[in-house]
């Protein structure tokens, strides 16, 4: 077992483990640490805890110190510098006539490196731009091209539900999302209904996937046949997943008469679907 603390560096960012070096931390405190990018200022999301070594990426970096009031002020100054750098870089992009859209600028805590995030339709030759930026800011410059999902995660916004975007507010990583999840939840497959701000499938489709899989496993599929408690046999034409109700076209005892009826799923006999975890 190894003692670690968990630190994040961005809103909804990944949590990284560090060795606390004998210092006791509580959730919500801040620490200054050495990372592969340089010195960073991060928030403690997980207080001192012992974890099995197989859950930790070794070697484990140590923290430099618990953040002080001076560190907090430096962090705020860095944000001001980032806003200034954004405006300067955007102007330089226009001067060089580059087909790229600047998204965000981020300094490491010690301002040893400045990262410029951008989107573009293809590859961009930004070597001249890097030289200009290095001459202006006198620090290491890194330009990083990101996709539309990363752009949305960086910028944030509000979804069709009226709440802050999942990717920006709490999701540390993008989750795999598929059309099958939308079908499982009975949603319209109209792209405007199931796409997020980024234009890709909404991340929140993943949130209720297990619930819908469980509820659907208790229902017949559309097109299946079921038998009612009265002994009538009918074809399933629709199901209400949340209400656990089924609509059937049943064959009546009279000559070739059929009728649309709705039943509680508990009132029917049918061959149940198999769940993923039972396959």
Residue 187 has pLDDT above 80, yes or no: yes
Is residue 118 within 8 Å of residue 85, measured between CB atoms?
no
Read off the pLDDT band of 278 (50, 70, 90): low
Residue 195 has pLDDT above 70, yes or no: yes
Strand 245-251 with 113-119, pairing: unpaired
Mean pLDDT of all residues in 22-35: 92
Mean pLDDT of all residues in 124-148: 93
In the chain, the percentage of residues whose pLDDT exceeds 70 is 97
Q: Which two tokens stand for residue 11?
A: 């809103």
Per residue in 94-120, pLDDT (tens digit) is 999 999 999 999 999 999 999 999 999
Q: Which two tokens stand for residue 172?
A: 């540390």
| Confidence (pTM) | 0.76
Strand partners, 233: 227
Sheet-wide strand order for 38-51: 16-18, 2-8, 38-51, 30-35, 63-66
pLDDT of residue 279: 47
Is residue 129 within 8 Å of residue 146, measured between CB atoms?
no
Q: Which two tokens stand for residue 271?
A: 């061959």
Per residue in 38-85, pLDDT (tens digit) is 899 999 999 999 888 888 887 888 899 999 999 999 999 999 999 999
Read off the pLDDT band of 186 (50, 70, 90): confident
pLDDT of residue 258: 85
In the chain, the percentage of residues whose pLDDT exceeds 90 is 52
Mean pLDDT of all residues in 178-190: 88
Residue 275 has pLDDT above 80, yes or no: no
DSSP string, the chain: -EEEEEEESSTTPPPEEEB-TT----TT-EEEEEETTEEEEEEEEEEEEEE-GGGS-SSPPBEEEE--HHHHHHHHHHHHHHHHHHHHHHHHHHHHT---EEEEEEE-TTSSEEEEEEE-SS----HHHHHHHHHHH-SEEEEEE--HHHHHHHH--B-TTSSBPHHHHT-SSPPP--HHHHHHTT----HHHHB-TTSSBPGGGGTTHHHHHHHHTTSPPTT-EEEETTS-EEEEEEEETTTTEEEEEEEPSSTT-EEEEEEEGGGEE--PPPPGGG-
Residue 188 has pLDDT above 80, yes or no: yes
Per residue in 231-245, pLDDT (tens digit) is 888 899 988 988 999
The residue among 139, 50, 123 whose CA lies nearest residue 88 is: 139
pLDDT of residue 193: 87
pLDDT of residue 255: 63
pLDDT of residue 142: 94
Strand 101-107 with 113-119, pairing: antiparallel
């Amino acid at each position: 077992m190894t003692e670690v603390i968990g630190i994040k560096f961005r809103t909804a960012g990944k949590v990284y483990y560090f060795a606390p070096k004998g210092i006791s931390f509580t959730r919500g405190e801040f620490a200054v640490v050495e990372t592969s990018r340089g010195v960073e200022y991060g928030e403690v999301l997980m207080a001192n805890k012992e974890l099995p070594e197989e859950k930790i990426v070794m070697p484990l970096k140590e923290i430099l110190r618990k953040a002080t009031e001076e560190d907090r002020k430096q962090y705020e100054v860095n944000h001001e510098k980032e806003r200034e750098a954004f405006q300067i870089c955007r102007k330089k992009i226009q001067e060089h006539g580059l087909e790229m859209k600047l998204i965000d600028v981020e300094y490491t805590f010690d301002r040893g490196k400045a990262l410029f995030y951008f989107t573009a339709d293809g590859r961009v030759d930004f070597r001249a731009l890097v030289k200009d930026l290095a001459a202006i800011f006198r620090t290491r410059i890194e330009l990083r091209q990101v996709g539309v999902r990363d752009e949305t995660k960086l910028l944030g916004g509000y979804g069709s539900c009226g709440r802050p975007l999942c990717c920006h507010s709490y999701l540390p990583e993008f989750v795999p999302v598929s059309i099958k999840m939308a079908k499982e939840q009975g949603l319209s497959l109209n792209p405007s209904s199931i796409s997020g701000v980024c234009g890709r499938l909404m991340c929140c489709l993943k949130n209720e996937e297990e619930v819908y899989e469980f509820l659907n496993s208790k229902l017949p599929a559309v097109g299946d046949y079921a038998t009612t408690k009265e002994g009538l046999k009918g074809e399933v034409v629709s199901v209400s997943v949340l209400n656990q109700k089924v609509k059937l076209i049943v064959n009546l005892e009279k000559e070739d008469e059929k009728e649309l009826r709705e039943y509680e799923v508990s009132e029917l006999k049918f061959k149940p679907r198999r769940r993923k975890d039972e396959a």
